[in-house]
Amino acid sequence: MRNSRCRLLWLPALLVSFSLVAAACGGHDEEETSTPSATAGTGTADQTASVSGEVNISGSSTVEPISIRVAELFEDVAPDVSVNVDGPGTGDGFKLFCAGDTDISDASRQIKPAEKEDCFANGITDIVELKVAVDGIAVMTNASNDAVECLTFEQLFDLIGPDGEGTSTWAEASAGLPDAPLDLFGPGEESGTFDSFIEIVLEDLAGEAGVDATTRTDYSPSGDDNVIIQGIQSSDTSLGWVGFAFAINASGVKLLEIDGGDGCVAPTGDTIASNEYPVSRDLWIYVNADAAAANPALVAYVDFYVSDALSQAVGEVGYVPLAGAAHAETAERWHSRSLIS
């Protein structure tokens, strides 16, 4: 009989152990507290407050923090709207978007023709393309390196492009540059910054030179921007590139001016917002306007996205807000539902 009691005991005991674990972690079922930060009003706050529903967003991990921050600010205006944001990457995001699984697709580049055709083939034809922020890529060297102030796209191609493979000094890679050891640090292939840098700086020159549009392979790649910064700090004649928002807050590094053909421009918030600094890229969201017509929560969210809240959100997560005119154009595109064709 003792044995049969054992038998009966062990399953319930297992369940009890779970509830103990659960109870120890539990007891906080109340609603999350809202952030006390100021939000920009949309002018229709009363209407917005009563909206409820769900908005699903996926796409670029670069744009992801902007969409999340906007959702956090929006939460104070429309507490009943549930916004889910994911960041698997721009390409994966468009796949979901074109399958109708998401309402908004975050993108760190514009939609490709093939992706657009995919969307249209699936009956997702009403798509609004909105520019939401600008991201600059900073090219850096060690703060103590006085020999270099400005680099041209050609020099960057020599130093970082595939033709630079195997060179160990600046002069060897590109004639006219100082004869000093070249220690290269940059993001790895999985990074959006890696792709952007190739698209903006290397692609055209690689086409002219008849080589693959990629970087040399003999540099120290890292997915962690901190590691890249540490690399730059560790060598007096280092060279590397990371997102501007990250570089501007780092110490011990010098942000180089870049000449894209119109003279040397230093990376600052203003020169990036105006696209004057050549190594900058625009960040986008793509909204399914059909879905918006059926989902007031989506309309309210995008209304809020293109309002003044956008500049606040973009600044807070470390990107460069749009200039006034560009911001106004984004809002206008949304409100007039100007579709891509």
Distance between CA 205 and CA 212 in Å, rounded?
A: 10
Interface residue with another protein among 49, 150, 220, 246 (CB under 8 A) is: 246
For another protein, the binding residue among 161, 164, 192, 243 (CB under 8 A) is 243
* Residue 19 tokens, joined: 């509830």
CB of 297 to another protein, least distance (A): 10
Map residue 54 onto helix, strand or coil: strand
Q: Decide: is 252 part of the binding site for another protein (CB under 8 A).
A: no
Rounded least distance, CB 65 to another protein, Å: 5
What residues are paired with 214 via a beta bridge? none
Residues 69-108 that bind another protein (CB under 8 A): 69, 71-72, 81-88
Closer residue to another protein, CB minimum distance, 54 or 179: 54
Q: Give the integer Cα–Cα distance in Å for 27 and 40.
A: 34
Rg for the chain, CA atoms, rounded: 25
Tell me how far, at minimum, the Cβ of 32 lies from another protein, in Å.
Answer: 5
Shortest reach from residue 185's CB to another protein, in Å: 13
| Residue numbers 12-71 binding another protein by CB under 8 A | 13-15, 17-18, 20-22, 24-26, 28-29, 31-36, 54-57, 61, 64-65, 67-69, 71
Decide if residue 245 touches another protein (CB under 8 A): yes
DSSP state, residue 341: -
Residues 162-181, interacting with another protein (CB under 8 A): none
Q: Is 287 in the site for another protein (CB under 8 A)?
A: no
Question: What are the DSSP calls for 188-201, one per residue?
Answer: -TTSHHHHHHIIII
Amino acid at the residue 128: V
State how far the Cα of 280 lies from the Cα of 197, in Å rounded to an integer. Answer: 9
- 78 Cβ contact list (under 8 Å, min separation 6): 48, 49, 51, 52, 297, 300, 301, 304
Binding status of residue 118 toward another protein by CB under 8 A: no
* Phi, psi of 145, rounded to the nearest 5 degrees: -85, 100
Query: Which residues partner with 107 through β-bridges?
Result: 284
* Least distance between another protein and beta carbon 299 (Å): 16
Residues that bind another protein (CB under 8 A): 2-4, 6-7, 10, 13-15, 17-18, 20-22, 24-26, 28-29, 31-36, 54-57, 61, 64-65, 67-69, 71-72, 81-88, 223-226, 243, 245-246, 316-318
